[in-house]
Amino acid sequence: MKIFTSDQIKKWDEFTMRSNGISSLELMERAAHSCAKWFVQNYFEINSFAIFCGAGNNGGDGFAIARLLYKKGFEVILFADESQVYSESAAINQKKCKDISGLEILKFENANNFIFKENTIIVDALFGIGLNRPIQGKFAHLIQFLNDLNHLKISIDIPSGLMADEMIADQAVVFKANDTLTFQSWKKSMLHPETGIYCGNIHVRDISLSEEFNSLEPSNELVIDEKIIGEIYQPRNEFSHKGTYGKATVVAGSYGKIGAVVLATKAALKSGSGLTFILAPKCGYEILQISCPEAMFISGGENEVVNFSIEENSTLGIGPGLGTHSDTEKSFLNFLKTCKNPLVIDADALNILSKNPDYLKLIPKSSIITPHPKEFARLFGPTENSFARLDLAREKAHELQIYIVLKDHHTQVITPDNRVFYNITGNSGMAKGGSGDALLGIITSLLAQSYSPENAAIFGAWLHGKAGDFAAEEFSKEAMLPSDLIDQIGNVFKYLNKKVLPKNRKD
């Protein structure tokens, strides 16, 4: 799914109106119907809504939603500032509400003394993607007041105060939603931690904006959706053998950190590589042979990996628990000097590379590095916020001709040609030591199976998050472990075959 800027979304709206022969008002009605339907499906038992409407088309949505919910029998109260200059469609929808006896429109100021029933849902239709400056004055006070209410809060299109594609200022006033019903596609600000935190759960509502515009309009930022995954995923060939699915080698571990090797190796095995090897120190031999009997062990030293003796033609994932011992560093750097094939590089292997900017030039072209934000800062320097971090990652991915998997709540896969794929699977149950080791194993296994580096990174990030979501469903976010995530990889492949592939078939 492409991510568009607010200007592009406006063009998309206009293109749709022209090509469908509909007015702005009719498109707004579509948007409002889609939201009203969602409210009915999810909150049928709650019969009270307080809807706050601005003067632009986002406010227009709010008025139209109010009318539809009221007509369905819900109790609705509107708050608006009728002295404002309304957009044409907002004015028409406001008038329609005024014409309904029983549907009350109060002033914003009245909200302060209003007694909201306990189960009233607060709906934010103050500002949408037309916001063009930080919110101040009476709107800021109103939003602060609403944020302090202990009620369920839902934003229409985007929480008021956020721009679709920009970072917010320090101390910005933003409506804090539990859920956001956004039209047609994700907005960039929903995917970054500083801004996304205001959105709650995102629900993308299809309002049938033009497919033609979507395919013609360029965007180098995308959300990894199931359509993309369905195109990448290669089901297994029944006439295959273990040689068909490549050799993956996990290069990892040091004394006290053998668990990281276990997790990475199990994740690689579960992701389908034909043969899986472990290059680890001898101190982990018994643990690894017992916990991962399907993998073959190669000793890389006593307590650390100091000898990169690699199985021929195998794809390497290097780093978890590796340590940064000087002998490990020396042998890793020497190995890099001889290595031409793409690697997957994580954790301590990245920490070694961050010691000297010249080391970065040793990374083979088309390799995949998987830093978390701290590792990223060690490698490339600090940045002010996650938007700036992404910009720097784009620059570095291009300069080094590598793929960067920038791990986060919405992990970003950055390609050497400046595209960004945001991952939307995964959850906070994965915020535990060991989750990253699993990701390295998964991506290494996919790369070994001849997925291109780009596809291995995108598919790997998605698969990892989806397995995390399945694990959270079974065990809760608190109790799930990276091992549970690995155990769920099989269910994700089942899901892919049952749910995603059939949708993707062209016939």
Ligand X SMILES: NC(=O)C1=CN([C@@H]2O[C@H](COP(=O)(O)OP(=O)(O)OC[C@H]3O[C@@H](n4cnc5c(N)ncnc54)[C@H](OP(=O)(O)O)[C@@H]3O)[C@@H](O)[C@H]2O)[C@@H](O)CC1
Ligand Y SMILES: Nc1ncnc2c1ncn2[C@@H]1O[C@H](COP(=O)(O)OP(=O)(O)O)[C@@H](O)[C@H]1O
Where does this chain bind ligand Y (CB under 6 A)? 347, 372, 407-409, 411, 426-428, 430-431, 433-437, 439, 464
Q: Is 442 annotated for ligand binding?
A: no
The dihedral over CA atoms of 477, 478, 480, 481, expressed in degrees to the nearest 10, equals: 120
Confirm or deny that 235 is annotated as ligand binding: no
65 in helix, strand or coil? Answer: helix
Q: Which two tokens stand for residue 252?
A: 């990892």
- 60 is an annotated ligand-binding site residue: yes
Closer residue to ligand X (CB): 9 or 368? 9
Structure tokens at 343: 């690697």
DSSP 224-235: E-HHHHHHH--P
Cα gap 413→407, rounded to integer Å: 9
Is 230 known as a binding-site position?
no
Q: Quick one: what does residue 179 bind among ligand Y, ligand X, K ion, none, with the CB cut-off 5 to 8 Å set by partner type?
A: none
Nearer to ligand Y, 128 or 460 (CB): 460
- Helix and strand element counts for the chain (H, E): 18, 17
Residue 21 Rama label (left phi>0; alpha psi -120 to 50; beta) = left
Any contact of residue 55 with ligand X (CB under 6 A)?
yes
Instruction: Please identify, using beta-carbon distances, which residue of 69 and 316 lies nearer to ligand Y.
Output: 316
Partner that binds at residue 430, options ligand X, K ion, ligand Y, none, CB closer than 5 to 8 Å by kind = ligand Y
Binding-site partner at residue 460 among K ion, ligand X, ligand Y, none, CB < 5 to 8 Å by type: none
Q: Which does 160 bind (CB under 5 to 8 A by kind): K ion, ligand X, ligand Y, none?
A: K ion
Nearest CA among 81, 45, 43 for reference residue 65:
43
Supply the minimum distance, in Å, between the C-beta of residue 20 and K ion.
Answer: 24
Residues with Cβ < 8 Å from 300, sequence gap 6 or more?
251, 279, 280, 281, 306, 307, 308, 309
DSSP 169: P
Residue 341's binding partner out of K ion, ligand X, ligand Y, none, with CB under 5 to 8 Å set by partner kind: none
Q: Does 226 bind ligand X (CB under 6 A)?
A: no
Compute the least distance from the CB of residue 127 to ligand X, in Å: 4
What 3-state DSSP class applies to 475? helix
99 is in an annotated binding site: no
Tell which residue, 318, 419, 409, has the closest CA to residue 370: 318
Q: Does 5 bind ligand X (CB under 6 A)?
A: no
- 173 binds ligand X, rule: CB under 6 A: no
Selection from K ion, ligand Y, ligand X, none that 433 binds (CB < 5 to 8 A by kind) is: ligand Y
- The nearer residue to K ion, 175 or 213, going by C-beta atoms, is 175
Query: Where do contacts with K ion occur on this chain (CB under 5 A)?
Result: 124, 155-156, 160
Contact indicator for 349, 320 with CB cutoff of 8 Å: no
Per the annotation, does 130 bind a ligand?
yes
Beta strand 121-125 pairing with 104-107: unpaired
Separation of first and last alpha carbons in the chain: 22
Distance CA 261, CA 319 (A): 9
Both tokens assigned to 494: 């089942």
Distances (CA, A) of 371 to 8, 375, 379, 404: 31, 5, 9, 8
**Residue 437's binding partner out of ligand Y, ligand X, K ion, none, with CB under 5 to 8 Å set by partner kind:** ligand Y
Q: Does 177 bind ligand X (CB under 6 A)?
A: no
Q: Is 25 helix (H, G, I), strand (E, B) or coil?
A: helix
User: What is the smallest separation between the CB atom of 412 and ligand X, expressed in angstroms?
Assistant: 24
**Interaction between residue 34 and ligand X (CB under 6 A):** no
Q: Please state, in angstroms and rounded to a whole number, the distance separating the CA atoms of residues 22 and 148.
A: 40
Please choose, from the candidates 75, 120, 64, the residue with its C-alpha nearest in 3D space to the C-alpha of residue 102.
Answer: 75
To ligand X, the closest distance from the beta carbon of 345 in angstroms equals 41
Residue 161 assigned ligand-binding role: no
Establish whether 325 is an annotated binding residue: no
Among residues 472, 499, 495, 501, the alpha carbon closest in space to that of 484 is found at: 472
> 213: number of CA atoms within 13 Å, CB side?
19
Q: Which does 155 bind (CB under 5 to 8 A by kind): ligand X, K ion, ligand Y, none?
A: K ion
Contact track, ligand X, 108-147, x by CB under 6 A: -------------------xxxxxxxxx---x--------
Q: Is 141 annotated as a binding-site member?
A: no
- The verdict on 506 binding ligand X (CB under 6 A) reads no
Residues annotated within a binding site for K(+): 58, 124, 160
Binding-site ranges for ligand X (CB under 6 A): 13, 24, 27-28, 31, 54-59, 61, 87, 127-135, 139, 156-157, 183
Residues annotated within a binding site for AMP: 407-411, 436
Residues annotated within a binding site: 57-61, 124, 128-134, 157, 160, 260, 321, 372, 407-411, 436-437
